[in-house]
Every structure is written in structure tokens, then in C-alpha cells.
Amino acid sequence: MSAVQVWIVDLVLSPSQVDRCDAVLDAAERARADRFLRPADRARFRASHAALRLVLGDALGLAPADVELAAGAGGKPELAGPARGAADFNLSHSGARALIGLTRGAAIGVDVEAVRPIADALRIAAAHFAADEVTTLAGAPRSAVERRFFGLWTRKEAVVKALGSGLSLPLDRFSVSVPPEAPRLLRAVGDASWNLDGPWSLAEVDCGRDHVATVATRSAEAEITCHRLPDDWPDHLG
């Protein structure tokens, strides 16, 4: 059984709060933030990375600025330095919301998506998802297709992100249950470059009406506790 913490973060901050976020980022994060053209995207990147440092620092007994991060083999961020291997985590952001998943000893992936109008959900699903997922989605009432599409997307993306291999896992080679069915991994075709064997736990995260989110862990069972950072969370960055 894995104990999993999921943190929901509001990314809409005042300019002074964004400055406080910036102060705890490392040089690589600042360089990435500077590459965003739109100030709102830049601010949300800074906010989500500062929130990740706050959550990780709290779990590890470190100041947010002292958390050392590096990219793993598939590009998945992981702890580096003295805290290397002390926790497994994953970050996702969409619109004004970020989601952080934190556990120990099990690979974890999280994905949050803002539910937004999408005219060609079934065409996108047919182009990228597994045939059984597309069939189930196509049977949904029209009014439910968008929310179920994004829910399905977060389930697949959370699995991909737990694996950490980025785009190398073809999304039509594994299937998950489609909302409103409870989330679970249904079928996977492995090959040498990626492997979905072994137990998985998938769970929906309630992020409010406008977002859908999933957490996936490579463990037989996961005890998930959901938390929300307080509105004044940037004041706790130190």
C-alpha cells in the first residue's frame, strides 16, 4: 500500500506573490520561465514550480529553495543531491490549477486538465487513443463527451507520466476505463522500450467543476489524501 498525497494549487497570484515564487527557483527554472512569451504563462510556471518546492521541502524538512531537482532518463523531474530517492513526485498544470502528487517507493504520475470546449474530441480520440476507449467514448451522450474526453485524457497522461518516458509510449497501445466508470488500467501491450506490467492504482482527483484530474501510481493499492494549499501559500516560501 502506498500513501499518496495529492496537493491542489491555485496559480492565480498577485505580482508580489509571483516575485516570492521566483526567489525560490533555481537557475534552470528561471531560465525556462524567461522563455515564456506571455507574462501570464511565465507567472504560472513560476507559481507551479514554487508550489512544488514548497510541498517537497515540507516533506523533506528542507527550505523550498534548497530542494535539488534533476531530470531523470525520460526527462521526468526527480530529487537530486542528498535527498535523491527520498520521495517520488509529479507535477501537472492546466489553466489556473496545478496538481502535485507525492509518495515514496512507487512511481507516480498526475495530470490535470481544464475542461474546455473542443469541437473534434472524437476525431482526436480516434487518432490517438485505443480502439476500445474510442468506442466507449463515442457512446457517451453529446453533453458528456467533452468532460469524459478530458477525464480519459488525464487517465492516460497520468499513466504516461508515472512511467516517465514522455512521448515514447504510444497512447493507442494501452487502454484505461472511460469516465464515468472508475479509473483503472485495462489493457497494455508491452515491448522492450516500455513496460506497464505489475500493479497500478488510478484515482480521480476532485479539482472542482472546471477541471478533471487523475493520479496514477505503480502500486497494488494507494491510500490517497487530498490537500489544497492555502490561498496565502506564497507567504510560506520563506
Ligand X SMILES: CC(C)(COP(=O)(O)OP(=O)(O)OC[C@H]1O[C@@H](n2cnc3c(N)ncnc32)[C@H](O)[C@@H]1OP(=O)(O)O)[C@@H](O)C(=O)NCCC(=O)NCCS
Distance of CA 124 to the CA centre of its chain: 21
Contacts of residues 54-63 at CB distance under 8 Å and 24 or more positions apart, as own/partner, are: 54/24, 54/229, 54/233, 54/236, 54/237, 55/5, 55/7, 55/89, 55/100, 55/102, 55/229, 56/87, 56/89, 56/102, 59/5, 59/87, 59/102, 60/86, 60/87, 63/24, 63/238
Best CA proximity match to 209, nearest among 121, 144, 91, 114? 114
Contact status: 45 vs ligand X (CB under 6 A) = yes
Taking the least distance from each CB to ligand X, the nearer of 54 and 171 is 171
Is residue 74 involved in binding ligand X (CB under 6 A)? yes
Q: Which span (135-143, 164-172, 201-209, 214-222) binds ligand X, by CB under 6 A?
A: 164-172
- Using CB under 6 A as the binding rule, whether residue 171 contacts ligand X is answered as yes
Measured CA to CA in angstroms, residue 76 lies from 6, 18, 109, 169, 200 at distances of 18, 25, 10, 14, 18
Cβ 62 to ligand X shortest distance, Å: 18
Kindly indicate which of the ranges 134-142, 165-173, 181-189, 206-214 contains the residues binding ligand X, using the contact rule CB under 6 A.
165-173
Is 57 an interacting residue with respect to ligand X (CB under 6 A)? no
> Which parts of 139-158 interact with ligand X (CB under 6 A)?
153, 156-157
Residue 167 lies near ligand X (rule: CB under 6 A): yes
> Which x/- pattern, by CB under 6 A, does the window 77-116 give for ligand X?
x------------xxxx---------------x-x-----
Chain residues that interact with ligand X, rule: CB under 6 A: 45, 48, 74-77, 90-93, 109, 111, 153, 156-157, 160-161, 164, 166-167, 171
